[in-house]
Structure 1
């Protein structure tokens, strides 16, 4: 797992047990980003400059505290405590409070799960989820999850960041991004074709993007020929959020 030299070693640490532990935990968590979503024993030992047994104890302690979650015997990802704290931080953005009732109405209308993502500094992060429970199969989306570059929400942010205005060049370069009712929207079908996402931006009155609103569901319930109609419903909902924000 490649790392820059600055991230290969922990930050300067003052002497002292508890403070040193905090500095080391921060150094470890700073290694996580959308391209590197897990930590393993070897990486932890290298970043902290400790042996593998000490690295394993750090990871096990972080798992016990809920900061990490083990995915296999030597690999860990963000745990429920960090996801909850991240969501609390994101909830301070007024857009979440304004979006939730509109998201619930939209789920009842389109019968698909609706999610809201905000910019996490390097990638969109899932901040709110309203699942559709009207069908036998329910789509589950994890709050606090960073999205990959090919996700529909990521494509929407790419079309509006960093200036907060429409970027025509990016729109024409990405066939997944199209204009619907004056807003750039994106759609993405995941590998294998089983799942699909259609996303639209949530903009301020000045045209700056503050979030991405998306419908997520089985491709069977989101046929391609209905994409434009679905995107139009999402656009209408996103504009309601903008007005109330």
Structure 2
């Protein structure tokens, strides 16, 4: 008679280890519209009491999977951000874009950011910060972008249009502008403190795979220079080979 496999302590039906299944369920609650967790959300998602939910959050924070945003909410921690970046690095576009981003940052004297599609929203995959000025903008790798971000609107536009630059004029968004056969996007954030100008990185068949963006203080990115910045971005993405 064969030996039966002894269940792992805490193993749920279907072979899942309960704590792993619960953590996966919890992390799946995070998305661009709800990027934070608190005790109430955690308790509801896991079907546990508030005290147990709190212990989950504190434990995940200690291990770096989450980090405390304020007194009651948590967001993705450094461990998950690092793992996400490793996963994204499998895309050849990151390696191809590196030298181009460095050159563009030096030429334009603003931070350059590359984002890829993360399934629900663009995710920041690589950042080349501009350190030429006293005041700089910090951009975090692994962070999802909101729907109104310039990069998000570019992804949405290209996903809607499908392939073919000839149909770019059908998008009704005054901050999306055709430049050099590509669509570019701009965004001035609330209060006018800083802004983003972005361009798509396309595969040979015209599918969008990433966006390249310049992010800086608005005072260093005046509106009258938007066309020049857009042209520099389009020239930069044309040098990034994507298979």
Tell me, what secondary structure is at the counterpart of 1:72?
coil
CA contact (8 A) 2:157 2:171 kept: no
2:157 aligned partner:
159
1:103 to 2:105 alignment: no
Question: 1:188·1:196 contact (CA, 8 Å) conserved in 2?
Answer: yes
1:59 and 2:57 aligned: yes
After TM superposition, list the pairs within 5 Å mapping 1:1-245 onto structure 2. 14=12, 19-161=17-159, 163-166=162-165, 168=167, 171-242=170-241
Contact kept? 1:159, 1:170, Cα under 8 Å: no
* TM-score normalised to structure 2 length: 0.91
Structure 1 residue ranges without an equivalent (≥5): 1-12
Q: Tell me the number of residue pairs that the alignment of Structure 1 and Structure 2 aligns.
A: 232
* 4+ long deviations beyond 3 Å: 15-18, 164-172
Q: Evaluate the alpha carbon distance shift between residue 34 and residue 164 of structure 1 in structure 2; reply closer, same or farther with a 3 A threshold.
A: farther
The equivalent of 1:8 in structure 2 is: none
SS at match of 1:179: strand
Aligned equivalents of 1:19 and 1:81: distance in 2? 21
Q: Contact 2:199–2:211 at 8 Å: present in 1 too?
A: yes
CA distance in 1, matches of 2:168, 2:112: 28
Per-residue CA deviation, residues 108-130 of structure 1 (Å, 9 max, x unaligned), is 00000000000001110000000
RMSD, aligned CA: 1.9
Structure showing greater radius of gyration is: 2
1:140-199 Cα distance to aligned partner (Å, 9 max, x none): 100000001111111111111153444847853111101011100000000000010000
**1: CA distance, partners of 2:85 / 2:171:** 34
Contact kept in structure 1, 2:168 and 2:183, CA below 8 Å: no
1:204 deviates by: 1.2
